[in-house]
Structures are given as C-alpha cells and as structure tokens.
Structure 1
C-alpha cells in the first residue's frame, strides 16, 4: 500500500515519502504549511490513491475532543423520560458516535482527516493523545470500550496558527509542505489548466513570484490563489503583454485573486506612487 500521488495531485518526493512512512509506522501524519498549499486535499488524494473510504473531521474554535469520540444527549433523554418514552431505558439510544468512533468501527481501513487542529483550544491535541495512540476509548455511560477494528490512516493538518504540545508532536510523523518551486508549480498548473500557452504561463508565474517576494506583504498568495488567477487570465483571454507592469501601475491584473487584504493592495499602490514621483 504505497502512495505515489495521483493524476490530479502533484506530490513531491519528500511528501510521498512522509505519507508512506506514517502509514508504515502507524502514526498520525501531521502536515503543516501555508493555507492553500493542498494539505486538506492531500488526505483526499491519499484516500483516492489507496482506494480507501475517507472520514473528515473539520475542527473549529469551539470543537472539543470529546465530540470526536461521542456525545451523550442528556437533554433528549430527560425529555423522553418526562414523556414516558420506552427508549429512555437504554442509554445507548442517546449516544451519538463521533468521527473517531466512525473510523474505529469501520468494516475496512479508512483515511481519517483531522483538519486544522490548530483552530481548537490548546488542550484539544492533548485530549486525543491516548485515543490516537492506543486506538481505543471508553464510553462511560454504557461501560463499553470502542477499539479500532482496522487502524485508520490519520492525517492531521495545521496552519501553524498556534504551537502544538510536545507530547502530541512526539506521537506524529511530521511533514511541512514547502511552497512549490517554479517547476513544481508549472506541473500543478498543467494538472488544473492543461495546455496553457508557455509564454503566458512564464510571464504570469514570474509576476506571481515577484508578488510573493515583495517585502512588507502581509499575506502571500498561495497555490490555490495562483490557480484562480490563471483561470481568470484565461477567461479574459489576456496575453503576456497585457500582464506587463510598469512603475506607474504596480498592481497586477485582476489582483483581487492574489491580494486578499487592503494593506497589501495599498502596498502596491504606494510602490506605484513612489515610482511616479521618481520619474
């Protein structure tokens, strides 16, 4: 069972090595990187490439680790007891399995995505240590122990918004998705926009990397944003000449696809203003 990328996902050699190492070690794969570099998509592509079902758990700031195991609906049980419902005599009727329970009880091996774990409270990763390590947990209301029938492939993503506990990191295999170099990005573009004219692609990507390297930029445009930008360029049928910038017009064409806050737009407007004054 080896992951080597897919036709719709360009995986670098170090990324495929990391995925296969995590699978071999039976450790969660912790993937970090800039937003928009394909961390979430990686899990979906691993699922597709290995022919395994996928379970996605998208983490929010209010998500608790317990929700991944199960939730006990005490309110519904109280209401049913007041109504004389027979279901009230079996507490299992009020236990709602979480995503980890689904993954552990699946009849075949699955890929479990825990997406953007750094959005949750700092204690969230620690609260899952034992469950991810032992691949089991106890349901106190019913007295049963839920054990993984087949150990899932666990992929955990993080945007590096906050540090994760050392105890949690120790149990993971780690990979940082670096921003792709020019040749890798060209391969990614070819997957999403096949047949794009080489002159347009070279001009656009050269300008894109110049924008990313601009000092003072608050948010660097990501892989997903350059793909959106190229889609717009193709829709508008722009030529390489249309993309050329001079000092008086520092903002790129259709810059709303690349620059996502007013500070960065103002930065390029100031660069244009300074260039005009120097003339």
Structure 2
C-alpha cells in the first residue's frame, strides 16, 4: 500500500487517478503566440496522455516560450527548471543542506532537532504538491550529463519519490503537465524517449512568420514586412552560414527598422554589391557570418567591374 500523498500545506492530499484531466481546456494559440495546427495537436495529445512533451527545434523557434503559453492558455501555474551542465537530477527532487545543519548545531540553534528544516524542495517536489496541476518546464535537458534523463525516469513515471532523511514519500495527487525542451546537443536515452510525446517545431514558413509578425506588430505596413521577410529568408538560405537568424532575431530586426524609420527603397534594393542587410547586427551573430556576407558583396562588386 502506498503511503499518503503530501499536499502543499503539509496535510494529506486526496488521491486522484494519475492521468485524469477532468475538464481542462484545450491548448490554442494565444494573443502573443502563434501555434501551428501540428503543434496544437501535439500539446493536447501530451496533456491528454499526461506524458512529458519533448520539444525539439532550432534555437529561437519558441520551445521555451511554449511552456509559458501552455500555462497561460490552460490557466495553469508555471514552474521552471532551467538545466545547466552541472545540474543533477536529484536537485529537482530536493537537497539536504548538511553544512547548514552542522553550523547551526555548533551555534546551538534548536532548529537542528528537526532535519526537515534543512531539506530544500526542488522543482519536481514543487510541481508534485502544488494545489492545482502546474505546467513544469524542464528547459534544455540536453545540457546536463547523459545520465540526467535516465535518473528522472522513476519520478516522471510514478510521480513520486522518497525523502530518505525524513522518511516521507512525496507523491503527486495529479500529474503536472511536463514540457521538456532540447536543442539536440546530445542524444537522449531511448528509455526516456519512450516515455515522452515528441514534437519537432519546424522553422516557420512565410505565412506562419507573417502571422507571428502581426502578433508582435499589429498594423505594421504590409510592404515593409514583405520585403523584410524576403531579406530574412534569403539570409537564412546563404550557404556556409554558421548561425541562421531565428524568429526572435527577425522580431528584433523589425523593431529596429521601425525605430530607425528605415526607407523602403533600402530594403527593396537587390544590389548584390550591398549584400549585407541594414542593421545586420540583429540578424548576424558572429564575425564569421559577417565576413561571409562581406566577401559575397566584394565578389559581386569585383564581377561587376
């Protein structure tokens, strides 16, 4: 028999069948986020199955923002766990601060008599005992050690873990919605992948990108956007580019074009001798790519004579 679950206030929480979704709303696009049909299907399938949603895609395609928008769309709280190269899976459960307890013991602090005073809850613990099912974002899981995903298999499967120092079992009364993002820096273990619902966010096509721009810049001039998108996608197609500009960089570039009141004739110029876009620092993020465009412009001028 399982021990009772522990609620946020320390009292016993009623048990619900894990995986139950009740009357939860469906995820749709929001006022600030354009979700494609296949993305909406993936999110709602993961919510229905209560499987972790594993999201991959180019940097800048909105993987992290997606968790924020899911929480907003479903009216759920958001708990964020940003993974780093030094992050251990156990930190998502809890950490026992033995050093602080030793120090307090030397100072005669009565708090040392209760070891629970030195247990620091991790993000999974917060998600498991939250009064309402939250959205738990495990961001950039591929940055951690290769064993990191495997070390979370039991907790994500059974939605419970044991706190050895206090002898208690922390169990989710209802599964949180788990969103896991990856930039594909490392391959994830097969055992972890089997437990996830997978979705790859493809880079937005022109129509989708136009809709994204309209969300950020309502009423923006159609011709300006059309020419800016021409240049943006041309830049992305240049062979040898080390880092292709992303959606977020397009938004920054448009913001600068509007702020600087850039004349349309500059954007409309197709002169290959001026191959570097205006305010290119918003689009090109390293010296190799800037040099590549400068070389292309030089070669065009040379061929023209």
TM-score (norm 2): 0.90
Q: Give the 3-state SS of the residue equivalent to 1:151 in structure 2.
A: coil
Question: Which residue number corresponds to residue 229 of structure 2?
Answer: 205
Q: 1:172 aligns with which of 196, 209, 225?
A: 196
1:227-246 correspondence runs (5 A): 227-243=251-267, 244-246=269-271
Question: Which residue number corresponds to residue 30 of structure 1?
Answer: 54
Deviation above 6 Å: which 4+ runs of structure 1? none
Q: 1:250 aligns with which of 256, 275, 282?
A: 275
How far is the alpha carbon of 1:150 from its aligned partner? 2.0
What is the RMSD computed on CA atoms of the aligned residues?
0.8
Structure 2 unpaired stretches of 5+? 1-24
Q: Is the 8 A contact 1:32 1:159 kept in 2?
A: yes
How far is the alpha carbon of 1:240 from its aligned partner? 2.3
1:1-279 correspondence runs (5 A): 1-243=25-267, 244-279=269-304
Question: Which residue number corresponds to residue 6 of structure 2?
Answer: none
Equivalenced residues, count = 279
Q: Distance between the aligned counterparts of 1:242 and 1:194, measured in 2?
A: 23
TM-score (norm 1): 0.98
Encode CA deviations 1:51-74: one digit per residue, 9 max, x unaligned. 111101111111111110000000
Q: Distance between the aligned counterparts of 1:267 and 1:141, measured in 2?
A: 58
Structure 1 unpaired stretches of 5+? none
Q: Is the 8 A contact 1:112 1:152 kept in 2?
A: yes
Q: Distance between the aligned counterparts of 1:238 and 1:195, measured in 2?
A: 17
Question: Which residue number corresponds to residue 7 of structure 2?
Answer: none
Q: Give the 3-state SS of the residue equivalent to 2:273 in structure 1.
A: coil
